[in-house]
Structure 1
Amino acid sequence: MLFGREAEMDLLTRFVAGECGADGVLVLTGEPGVGKTALLHAAIEVAGWHGVRVLRAGALEFEADTQFGALNQLLQPAIDCVDALAEPHREAMRVVMGSAAGPVPGQLLAGAATLALLRTCAGDAALLLVVDDVQWLDLSSAMALIYALRRLSDTNIRLLTAVRTDSGDAFTRSGFRVHDVRPLDDRTAEELLRSAFPALPTGVRGRLRADARGNPLALLELPVALEIEGGRARLPEMLPLTRRLQQVFADRLRYLPAGTRRMLLFAVLAGAEDAVVLGARLATPDGRDELAPAERAGIVRTDPRTGRLEFRHPLLRSAVVELSTGAERRNAHRLLADIFADAPSRRAWHLGQAAAGPDEELAGLLESVSRRMLHAGDSVRATATMLRAAELSPAESDRVRRTARAAYLGSLLTGEVSDTARLLRTAPESATGGRSLAVALAAAYQLLNTEGDIATASRMLLAALRNDADSGGGDPEIVSEALHSLLYIGFYSGRDDMWPEIRAALDRVLPEPSDTLALLAGPFVDPVHTGAKVLTELDAALDDLRFTSDPVRIVRVATAAAYLDRIGRVREPLQRVIDDGHDGGAVARALEALLLLGNDDFFSGAWDHLIEVTDEGLRLCDELDYPVTAGSGKLLRGLVAAARGDDATVERLGEQLLMWAAPRNLLTLAHYSSHIRCLYALGNSAFTDAFRHAATVNPPGVFLPHRPHALWLVLDLTEAAVRSGRAEAAREHADAAKAAGLEDLSPRLAMITSAAQALAHPAESRIAFERALAVPGTERWVFDRARIELLYGEQLRRDRATAAARDHLSTAATIFAELGAVPWLRRAQSELRAAGEPGAPGATALTPREQAVAELAAAGRTNKQIGEELFLSARTVSTHLQHVFHKLGITRRGALRDSLATRSGGPGPNIE
């Protein structure tokens, strides 16, 4: 199966079948390994399907100087036709094909003989000639074939060749049709890797895609050379090459002078082929002369605009390193360290690579470099640099601390949480007895994320923090990370009894916490009791994410905004984190970024996109062994399933969350399960069940500390209480929401709080509902707003204001239909019928106006565009669409075209 080659296969099929007009020659060009040979094999297979005879040859480098060597190979199967040729041509071909002795024919005679033989061999049938690796084709064979093919335009004989890009071959220069076979795009490369190596982790796939740069051979060969340990691939800075890749890439370097190879190694190790560094090296004696052979061989080129040295393919960089010795690499790093004397971080990195033994001063420098790399967003190198610092540490305690720090960074950033235990096992037992905060942090992170063992993780961290404080305090960055982990432990626990110790640790160990610690400790874990000052700080931190590349900071600040409806402001930074994860960077942060986008998607009604991002997020959680984080993805998928009436998915996800949470005492995951079931019950008018589930998360009339999820159930609990005959509980909860100042936290919460007031206080309901719908910017929260339109319409119908009721109910029904929220659509339709909707129930014929609206909507027009075309308001268009959905028995706008086609008995309306 050829991935991503649909265009090439279409071209080859038409070429083999003779459907490409007068083009009798097709030259496939492309870089080595791009798949040209595979396409030739596919074309031969297509020829077999069409009954086309095939003659093929593959040029060989060591035969490039053999006269007529490739022509001999190509025409050998047609040797039986030689006797039918005229004498001059017969004798010439016998010499060319080695069946007779004699002088080698001249180029003109050889070409004419080849022409005659091909005509005789083909007869009236089709004949396909296939020649691979034309860059090594001997010139005499090439000229004979070109002579013949220029005179075969009136026949059914065709030639298909493959050649490396820029090889300067005779066929490309002769003006024949050329098709450039491009590398695979990222999506197709991912599909190929998944198909061939389904067990490869996401981060590894991202790194392979980046280095292979769409080259299919590299994508298929690079994983073979990786070191696999414990089911995970270990990625060195330069990927190793298999023998096949060495033939493609490394062999091109072997013929370069030794000085040129040293020059290329220097450029590779400099990183990003820096123009300044290159200039410094070229300024040395013979520097320019050393580079010239590589430029002439097409291995590198210097960009005239930037001065940067660019390799033709990233794997040439791996080949340069692979062909070097350890001594050569250390020497290059020492030279680079001297050049970077004024850049302490880069100097330290190169000194670290050049070091041959323990060196505490250098280890300390590398530890600092690792931290800077982390904040710059270079996740992979930050972890690798910390490991190198550990290797160079003379003292056992420092080696253990840095190893543990590397293990934690690997878990936090690249998702290598399973490596934590392996790395910690390399540390001496005397240093891992609980006194090292770095060790405790790494171990606790693994326990929290893979096992959900919050009890052990919290005890380990609290004890280590106390020891650290008693000994005079340790590394502030490790202390801060330990406190971040404690906050997540407290959040997932959902238990009040854990928070006094966590708060005490925050106050005792870090009197002035970092901004992310303060934001997570406030807006995230306890948003109801957060002051306005912290909200201002949160907004400022969100704005600042535009200017940072640190994936940890981006995800933490966005997480702090999760319960306050602000994730929509930072979708672009979150997408950057996801893109970095796709490229093999901070994969663990990417999975959280995906779920945060899904969070925003649920409230904004982008449910199809939610399914897409949570699919990827949940797959990553499973792949990286992050079951606790997966709870957020299951919540979001469960909420969409509940709103759409997918009872099987609701039951499955709700049960999964509950069964995983119960033995581990993870109340937050149990609350997720209750939320899913509450929403499902509300949509199906099972209000007593809905109240029971909502009250499990947070009792009515109070907002408990450290129960942030209660903010997502304010309207749910109030509605369930009212509809189940618990009017007092509804009033208590609506009033508590207002007293807690939820209206000040976000526009969505202001809308929800007013709607809860309207439900709980019927005498003031119209004013409160109007106030809820008038909150600026709440059109973005489409599902919540549709629910409020439904509730308001129900109240208006009971107040006998039927015309106004139909207006709100129609708006709600249209939104529910577009979301696919079937149970809610049924509720709205039922209310519309009770409100005397014209033509309902049972009238299925579309009015002329409804037909016009339906056809324009099926063509992809928005409500506003339809209104402008038909001179209607957008709200009237929504009402007409609701009627159309009801009459056609559909719930989605995307189903209009097929439904209209079915009713008309034809292929569908004639719409653009």
Structure 2
Amino acid sequence: MGGATGRGTSLKDLFGGTTGRGTSLKDLFGRRAEREAIERLLARARSGKSGTLVVRGEAGIGKTALLEYARDTASRSGFRVETLTGVPSETQFAFAGLHQLCARLMDRADALPAPQRAALGVVFGLRAGPAPDRFLVGLAILSLLAEVAEEEGLVCLVDDAQWLDEASSQVLTFAARRLGAERLVLVFAVRDSTEGDALPFTGMPEVRLGPLAEHDAQALLTAAAPALLDEAVRDRIVAEARGNPLALLELPMSAPPTRWAGGYETPDLADAPSRVEDSFRRRSSNLPAETQLLLLVAAAEPTGEVALLCRATEALGIASEASAPAEAAGLLDIDTRVRFRHPLVRSAVYRTAHASDRRRAHRALAEATDPRLDPDRRAWHQAQAVLGVDEKAAAELEHSAERARARGGLAAAAAFLERATELTPDEAERARRALEAAHAKHEAGAYDVALDLLRLASAGPLDALQDARAEQLRAQIEFHTTRGSEVPGMLLDAAETLAPLDPTLSRETYLYALTAAIHAGSLARGRGLPEAAKAAAEDAPAQSGPPGAVDLLLDGLSTRFTQGFEASVPSLQGALQALRSDDSRDDVDGRWLWLACHVAAVLWDDRALYDLADRAVRLARESGSLATLPGVLNSVASVLVLFGELTRAAALAQEESAITQAIGVPPLSNARLMLAAWSGRHREALDLYATMVQEATERGEATSIDQAQATIAAMHNGLGNYEEALTFAIGPCSSEEMALTSLALPELIEAATRSGDHERARAASDLLSRRTRASGAPFGLGLAACGRALISTGAEAEEHYLEAIELLGRTQMAVFLARAHLVYGEWLRREGRREEAREQLRTAHEKLSAMGTEAFAERAARELRATGEHPRSRTAQPTDALTAQELHISRLVATGATSREIGAQLFLSPRTIEAHLRNIFRKLGITSRRQLKDFQLQ
């Protein structure tokens, strides 16, 4: 009857190499393909290539068994194996999962760079210091794991990863996506969500465990059944278990054998995981009362510390031998750690216990937890032991929140504050804590919960300042979640309310309102940029003391949109100077550097634009702030395109894309669009443009649309499609408030001139000339001179062309200098001055070709051929064979940077950098780092 394995499946296949009941691998019936995926992953790691695998499936489907197979196989192959299991009650403790995984590895932390070593020390509570960026911690973990893997190879197995705390989940996701050549394997087992939640660890290689085939399920049941089963009953159990291995293993053990013999009992239609959890509940409920209470204490404390369990159970008067019945029943295992047979055992024990018993267990655990070594866990247990409200427990949780925030655990701080709010008896204090919890939830990205807490806080009583802060937070949440058209107005209301209460915060809020209005641009509805600027100019409180960067930015931008461009220049230039000369790394610097870059573009200050963007990158790199690094990398890459350094720009854009993929956010398109447009990849550019416009329209962000249109206008000017260029340039030039007007106006002048729309070209040229005179920046003055040359004739035109070339030659904007040579050469050819035209066109073609701006280079080539000269093709260079990332690494090596230093900058392990270097050496035909200095790596 049940002895056959069926359909040619051998017992070796079913048991993973062993047979008979009691094998630890019997959950691997029918999992040959999954075992082979594990084996391939380990084989790659042995050869020096790291890898990641996500194992998904419903509860009880065999994920843990597959991880056990990976553990045993890796151990036999000589790998070091470290394990981590997520549990629901740990989700509130920031970095709890990482601490569990890395506790035994910290002896290698001394080998890490100082910032990474400090970051780990802070988040693990080993040292004091400012909260490190989450992704600096990720880099530190990657480096630590790579250090350990260097010796013997390392396999990290994470079970029930869906229950990791948010900080650990994010850090491990980052590390997994940056693996390269470390001989390191990460395997995550993730339970399928049943509530529509976003699945963690998406975008990685994965296998999905489905139900066992019927013949495999029958074989597993036959091996596991405590007694001989009637064939009909066996088939019914198989059918009702729906291929879930744990259900097949547990269902026969959940009732006496006689129950299964006749086949007459009432069908149970519960889903398999619920049914299995019920079986665990029934098995635990049959145990002695002392044993049940011991199980509950173990379920309430997921660290698995045997000593802690012993202290807590001793306080409850539970005898040490009380664990024996649970161990005999196969529910619990106590050796060096306390382990449940399956997470469903833990949840079954905890969920079905009476509330008073749960409070009793938590109270015992709080008393057993050392307040000096783990004050936060003690405070959490105390809070869970409270019935009703308790100010002392609430205050302890608030202190825990402060400690969690100092370690960078925003989600943990928010959870502590949320629970503290629930426990607070005084209404005013409860409202205050609810407001602080809402701020913490907002910082942690839990916007829905933050809004719920704001509603609780608003029920009050709040004082005037607290009420204004709540209003400001509500507007900020709205901006982050919807970019809604009402956000500038909401921020203006908050700024007005804050003015007499906190003038400094009020001025910052007015600047936030201007920022939101600039983002919305022409898509704003309700109070937009004109209203925001007028309110900031008339209603913002005066600053106290000398004006700082925020004050100058606020005054300059409000003046820009109330009194005009020229009137705003002194304040805006003062803001740029303050930010460029201030070497302190205060909070203002980090928050407003991006806005300063916007201002530098408005003023055509190319040096300030690059310095500020580059400074933002350096600050983000040094702090490991991957939350901000992609945006500033995107900015620097965009600037480098205009500098004519497209290869460097591509390397930074690739790095930005890799980081956004690693941290699970959408990539930024600005630099990629500019690279595609200026490099001559026109179809790619148009596809990117369409996507950018669609997404920006949905968000209500006209800035992004204007930037995309200005880029496509430049592309069409390069192609000689002047009417199309004019169509795209009109939009951003009509948006008075946008910085992109500064770069779109030159495109409009060229396109309108060549399309015969001379009136529009003259108007744009006059506007550009007025504004650039006010700014005084050579870049802007050079663009204006070129614009005047395009609309002029005779000697006047030539004078302006020469002026443009001289002024642009004093800037870093190489593409615009090359374009000035191009349009001057075109003018000379039309004037019949062929020899002089050849000289200018040859210069333009050589510069544009070397930069890789293919459309304009081809346009220069066509003009040069028209003079009778055949343009020379660019000579191939050995470095052409390098990828953008390899070229980036080569440049860093040529400056003397070590593999460890390069890895820290690019968020890769040193071993991965060495693997890239081997490829670089092979492509260039060299054998040492010193030889890289002999190549042109610009």
TM-score normalised over the length of structure 1: 0.52
Q: What amino acid is aligned across from residue 553 of structure 1 in structure 2?
A: R
Q: Give 1:791's match in structure 2, choosing from 816, 823, 826.
A: 823
Query: For each residue in 1:348-383, what CA deviation from the matched residue of structure 2 results, as whole angstroms up to 9, or x when unmatched?
Result: 99x99999943799799979979x979x99977886
Query: For each residue in 1:473-518, what CA deviation from the matched residue of structure 2 results, as whole angstroms up to 9, or x when unmatched?
Result: 4455653553243112210232496234323443424332874543
Q: What amino acid is aligned across from residue 502 of structure 1 in structure 2?
A: A
Partners of 2:696 and 2:776 lie apart in 1 by: 30
Which residue of 2 is the match for residue 542 of structure 1?
Answer: 580
Q: How does 1:876-895 map to 2 (within 5 A)?
A: none
Which residue of 2 is the match for residue 612 of structure 1?
Answer: 654
Q: Which has the larger radius of gyration?
A: 1
Q: What amino acid is aligned across from residue 535 of structure 1 in structure 2?
A: Q
Q: How does 1:351-366 map to 2 (within 5 A)?
A: 357-358=390-391
Q: 1:130 to 1:501 in 2, by over 3 A?
A: closer
Higher relative contact order (CA 8 A, sep 6+): 2
Displacement after TM superposition at 1:468 (Å) = 5.0
Q: How does 1:265-276 map to 2 (within 5 A)?
A: none
Displacement after TM superposition at 1:830 (Å) = 0.3
- Partner of 1:707, secondary structure, is coil
Q: 1:407 to 1:858 in 2, by over 3 A?
A: same
Q: What amino acid is aligned across from residue 488 of structure 1 in structure 2?
A: T
Partners of 1:463 and 1:807 lie apart in 2 by: 61
**Is 1:602 equivalent to 2:646 in the alignment?**
no
Q: What amino acid is aligned across from residue 638 of structure 1 in structure 2?
A: L
> Are 1:529 and 1:705, in contact at CA under 8 Å, matched by a contact in 2?
no
Q: How does 1:618-637 map to 2 (within 5 A)?
A: 623=664, 633-637=668-672
Which residue of 2 is the match for residue 641 of structure 1?
Answer: 676
Which residue of 2 is the match for residue 498 of structure 1?
Answer: 528
Q: 1:206 to 1:771 in 2, by over 3 A?
A: farther
Q: What amino acid is aligned across from residue 503 of structure 1 in structure 2?
A: A
Partners of 1:752 and 1:785 lie apart in 2 by: 9
Partners of 2:617 and 2:437 lie apart in 1 by: 26
Q: 1:363 to 1:587 in 2, by over 3 A?
A: farther
Displacement after TM superposition at 1:764 (Å) = 3.0
Query: For each residue in 1:832-858, what CA deviation from the matched residue of structure 2 results, as whole angstroms up to 9, or x when unmatched?
Result: 101221478xxxxx8xxx8xx546776
Q: Give 1:782's match in structure 2, choosing from 814, 839, 861.
A: 814
Which residue of 2 is the match for residue 773 of structure 1?
Answer: 805
Q: How does 1:28-67 map to 2 (within 5 A)?
A: 41=73
> Are 1:447 and 1:453, in contact at CA under 8 Å, matched by a contact in 2?
yes
Query: For each residue in 1:396-422, what CA deviation from the matched residue of structure 2 results, as whole angstroms up to 9, or x when unmatched?
Result: 4564465455545654x5555565445
Q: What amino acid is aligned across from residue 672 of structure 2 in structure 1?
A: R
Query: For each residue in 1:859-887, what CA deviation from the matched residue of structure 2 results, as whole angstroms up to 9, or x when unmatched?
Result: 99x9xxxxxxxxxxxxxxxxxxxxxxxxx
> Are 1:578 and 1:594, in contact at CA under 8 Å, matched by a contact in 2?
no
Q: How does 1:128-143 map to 2 (within 5 A)?
A: none
> Are 1:437 and 1:461, in contact at CA under 8 Å, matched by a contact in 2?
no
> Are 1:635 and 1:676, in contact at CA under 8 Å, matched by a contact in 2?
no
Which residue of 2 is the match for residue 143 of structure 1?
Answer: none
Q: 1:463 to 1:769 in 2, by over 3 A?
A: same
**Is 1:569 equivalent to 2:607 in the alignment?**
no
Q: What amino acid is aligned across from residue 520 of structure 2 in structure 1?
A: S
- Partner of 1:698, secondary structure, is helix
> Are 1:330 and 1:353, in contact at CA under 8 Å, matched by a contact in 2?
no
> Are 1:793 and 1:805, in contact at CA under 8 Å, matched by a contact in 2?
yes
Which residue of 1 is the match for residue 204 of structure 2?
Answer: none
- Partner of 1:730, secondary structure, is helix
Displacement after TM superposition at 1:685 (Å) = 1.7
Which residue of 2 is the match for residue 518 of structure 1?
Answer: 551
Q: 1:476 to 1:203 in 2, by over 3 A?
A: farther
- Identity over aligned pairs, percent: 20
Structure 1 unpaired stretches of 5+: 13-34, 43-57, 59-128, 136-163, 168-179, 235-242, 260-296, 298-321, 337-347, 841-845, 863-893, 899-910
Displacement after TM superposition at 1:709 (Å) = 1.9
Q: What amino acid is aligned across from residue 326 of structure 1 in structure 2?
A: A
Displacement after TM superposition at 1:725 (Å) = 1.5
**Is 1:816 equivalent to 2:848 in the alignment?**
yes
Displacement after TM superposition at 1:831 (Å) = 0.8
Partners of 1:803 and 1:216 lie apart in 2 by: 62
- Partner of 2:528, secondary structure, is helix
Which residue of 1 is the match for residue 139 of structure 2?
Answer: none
**Greater mean alpha carbon deviation, residues 808-817 or residues 422-431:** 422-431
Give RMSD over aligned pairs: 6.5
Which residue of 2 is the match for residue 828 of structure 1?
Answer: 860
> Are 1:212 and 1:219, in contact at CA under 8 Å, matched by a contact in 2?
no
Q: 1:333 to 1:838 in 2, by over 3 A?
A: closer
Displacement after TM superposition at 1:829 (Å) = 0.9
Q: Give 1:736's match in structure 2, choosing from 761, 767, 788.
A: 767
Q: What amino acid is aligned across from residue 859 of structure 2 in structure 1?
A: R
Q: 1:721 to 1:405 in 2, by over 3 A?
A: farther
- Partner of 1:708, secondary structure, is coil
Q: What amino acid is aligned across from residue 833 of structure 1 in structure 2?
A: R
Query: For each residue in 1:507-542, what CA deviation from the matched residue of structure 2 results, as whole angstroms up to 9, or x when unmatched?
Result: 424332874543544667847652334413322213
Q: 1:10 to 1:613 in 2, by over 3 A?
A: closer
> Are 1:794 and 1:805, in contact at CA under 8 Å, matched by a contact in 2?
yes
Partners of 1:384 and 1:580 lie apart in 2 by: 29
Q: How does 1:448-459 map to 2 (within 5 A)?
A: 448-454=479-485, 456-459=486-489
Partners of 2:168 and 2:845 lie apart in 1 by: 43
Total equivalences in the alignment:
614
Q: How does 1:190-589 map to 2 (within 5 A)?
A: 204-206=169-171, 220=187, 230-231=197-198, 254=306, 325-327=365-367, 331-332=371-372, 357-358=390-391, 396=427, 399-400=430-431, 403-404=434-435, 406-408=437-439, 411=442, 415-417=445-447, 420-421=450-451, 423-424=453-454, 427=457, 436-454=467-485, 456-468=486-498, 473-476=500-503, 479-495=506-522, 498-506=528-536, 507-512=538-543, 515-521=548-554, 526=560, 529-545=567-583, 547-548=585-586, 552-553=590-591, 555-556=593-594, 558-561=596-599, 563=601, 564-565=605-606, 566-571=608-613, 573-575=615-617, 578-579=620-621, 588-589=627-628
- Partner of 2:391, secondary structure, is coil
Q: What amino acid is aligned across from residue 498 of structure 1 in structure 2?
A: G
Q: What amino acid is aligned across from residue 547 of structure 1 in structure 2?
A: R
Partners of 1:767 and 1:190 lie apart in 2 by: 70
**Greater mean alpha carbon deviation, residues 327-336 or residues 594-603:** 327-336
Q: What amino acid is aligned across from residue 206 of structure 1 in structure 2?
A: V
- Partner of 2:617, secondary structure, is helix
Q: 1:330 to 1:6 in 2, by over 3 A?
A: same
Q: What amino acid is aligned across from residue 615 of structure 1 in structure 2?
A: S
> Are 2:173 and 2:662, in contact at CA under 8 Å, matched by a contact in 1?
no
Partners of 1:676 and 1:544 lie apart in 2 by: 32
Q: Give 1:10's match in structure 2, choosing from 47, 55, 58.
A: 47
Which residue of 1 is the match for residue 713 of structure 2?
Answer: 678
Partners of 1:608 and 1:550 lie apart in 2 by: 30
Q: What amino acid is aligned across from residue 680 of structure 1 in structure 2?
A: M
Partners of 1:669 and 1:750 lie apart in 2 by: 26
Partners of 1:672 and 1:680 lie apart in 2 by: 13
- Partner of 1:462, secondary structure, is helix
Partners of 1:715 and 1:576 lie apart in 2 by: 31
Q: 1:695 to 1:574 in 2, by over 3 A?
A: same
> Are 1:734 and 1:756, in contact at CA under 8 Å, matched by a contact in 2?
yes
Displacement after TM superposition at 1:711 (Å) = 0.8
Structure 2 unpaired stretches of 5+: 1-36, 50-66, 83-103, 108-144, 202-294, 312-335, 337-361, 888-918, 924-935
> Are 1:490 and 1:499, in contact at CA under 8 Å, matched by a contact in 2?
yes
TM-score normalised over the length of structure 2: 0.51
Q: Give 1:806's match in structure 2, choosing from 838, 841, 856.
A: 838
Q: What amino acid is aligned across from residue 575 of structure 1 in structure 2?
A: V
Partners of 1:684 and 1:457 lie apart in 2 by: 40
Displacement after TM superposition at 1:812 (Å) = 2.9
Query: For each residue in 1:58-77, what CA deviation from the matched residue of structure 2 results, as whole angstroms up to 9, or x when unmatched?
Result: 8xxxxxxxxxxxxxxxxxxx
Displacement after TM superposition at 1:745 (Å) = 5.5
